[in-house]
Structure formats: structure tokens, C-alpha cells
Structure 1
């Protein structure tokens, strides 16, 4: 299952072949079949304005801005995945995701949704590898003339857990597929913040919460 606006079946095939495995497309992608309900929805979809400017998400009279810390992003595809998913939500007016800062700044309608709901929405995105926390403050803005500055509202959030780092020697790896397999499995384990596996060095560096897991547990999982 893939998102055709981010990658094509042919590109997936080439990436599999690049790591040393023969691949072919068994079933060609089907063209989208639209039913009567889908066609009616398309008719009601807002179009570009007469000036030709791109349609933007609605700006609400009472918007808030929240910053999330996101662990589990590895590439620009992760950034596009999160941005495209949340930008389709009616109560989200804008979102900017930074791979370098591991963060997402979301502007949303505070009367329609809470930061906690948005946090869960990001964690629920495929492939389910994101771990999201809310920063200690959100900024609330109002479009009313009497409002001239941002109001900072503290949130009761859980502080970041203590993290430790361990290096685990791994034997038997032969290709990048082994690396991806180990990273994919271990990154989903409880207490794991991040993992980087090196095929050349034959080891994996894991950042974890010692209250939730241990190096021995991680070694056995590998």
C-alpha cells in the first residue's frame, strides 16, 4: 500500500532492485473509479479564486499554534507524509514540519480540536513509527481588533523521559535490507527513542528509556 502522490510503483520496484533483490510489478495500479457520491463531493470542492491564487485552508477567528516534537522521522518522505495528512483536516489552517529540528508547528482552530487530538493523529499515521510529544507552551491568536499580541497558554504535559544510549554488536547482516528490517522492528519497541544500524560496522546504536527497556531486552529482540 503506498501513496501515489509521493511515489510510483515503478520507483518502488527500482528501490527494491537497488538493494539487490529482483522485483517486478505483478499487478498494475488501477485507475481511480469514482462513484456518484465521490463525483458529488468533487462538485462541492472549492476551486481557485478568480485571481488564480491557490486555495488555502480557512483562517478561523480564534486560532492557536502548537509545536510538536516528533521522533521517528528519517527522510523528506516522512515530512511530506505528515504535512499532507494534517493539511487535509478542516480545522488545521497550516502546518510546517522540520526534519532537522524533529518538530511540527501546527496552526489550528482551538474550538474544534485539541493539541492532544492532533498529537494522536500524527502518531496514527502509517507506518506507525512516529512518537510525538507536545512542547510546554502553545500560542493563541485572535483575529479580533482588540487583540494585539500572542497569548501564551501553558499546557500540563509530561516531561521528556530520561534517555540512554547503547551500542549493540550485530552479526549476520549482509545487505541494506537487513539494516532496514532491524531498524523497523526495534524502532517500534516500547521505550526506544531512535535506532541507527550500521552495516559497515556491524552494530546498532539505540537511544532508549531505561525505565521502559534495557540493552539486554533490545539485544534479545534483534
Structure 2
């Protein structure tokens, strides 16, 4: 019994010592924009002794690193990243202002009245810096503080209004599609099925419109093939009639 208690006590002491030696730091990583970048950052940092774990936030361009301060230190981590010539680390604070921009194609944004509803809703959100509508191309550009909101929250807010936003790009090799689908298929499973279709870059659904919106690459597919592939995935799409705007 005494031996068992001693073993338990030693285990608790060792765990406490290990916890006491572990530090966690969040730093901004210049040039880190995607999962591939994060993989490179992780590969570089993991070469240091004592790195216990890493998580990333791409919108903030931050990495949160847990490390054993008995084996390495913040300066060593920063030096290792600086040596890459691309992923330079700097300090991060939750109080920082981190302005990011996103373009959103919104096929069910038809007129100024639609945009006014969007503008009113987004302006009420914390972290929105500015908005620029392009009604002729049915997209908006939103600048926001990534330390106070995020792309997912902005898209969720637009979805609650009855819109179906997807990623917008100005390049010539990007196309957009918009369909009506049965209410029973307005779910995450449909999004997941569409995202694996050849050429698809982004997809979204909306329960108020029973809609499916898609961003796709025109050098990998076209409107006809995209529709056929989505139907082949079991999604019952219908191209909606042209919208008749009632704006006065």
C-alpha cells in the first residue's frame, strides 16, 4: 500500500514538473496563408528539441506553440523561422488589429435593397471594417478584423439573412453556379458532396432559399459538366428562373 502511494506521488510530482516546464506562445507568422504554409512552419519548428505541439489560425496568420522551456526558448523558435527567409515570426496580442479582406459572390443578392439588408446586418457585427458592393457582378468585398470576427461568422450571418455566399475571385478562370435543391438536401452533407466534385473550389447552401451556390475553376470543368457531376452525386438541382426584382 505504501509503495503504491509512493508511486502515485512520484507520478504526480513528475507530471507537475513537466507542466511547470511547458510554455505556450502565440506568434504572428508573416507569409503563412494556408495549410501548406503551416505544414512548412511546423516542419521547421519541430526540428527544435522540446516542441510539444502546434496549432494555427490562418486568418490571423498565427501559430500557437507549446514547448519545454528547459530544452528550447522563444528566441530559438523565432531564429529558426527567420532562417527560412519567408516565415518571419513577430509578437501577437489579442488586442492587435489584424485587417483581412474577403470577396463573396452572392447570387441571391439582386439589387440595392438586398445589399442594404446585408450592410445593415454586417455593420452590427463586431470587427467589420468596411464593405464595397459590386451589384453588377453580384459580389461584395468585406474588410474585417480577424482578431474580432472571421470568415465563417460573416458567412453565417449572411446565411441567416437568406443569402448563399461563396468565395469570389476576380480571375478569368473562375465560374459560379446557383441552383435550387430540395429542402431535405440543404445540409452539410450536400456541401461535402459538392466539394469533392472535379473543379469545385467552394460550395454553400441556404435553407431559406433552398439554394446551392458553387465556385468552380473553368479550366477544370464547365457549367454543363458541373451540373451533370452534381446530379450524379445524387443532388437534385434545378436552375431557378431569372429573378424579377421588385425594387422601387
- Give me the TM-score of the superposition, normalised by structure 2: 0.34
Structure with bigger gyration radius? 2
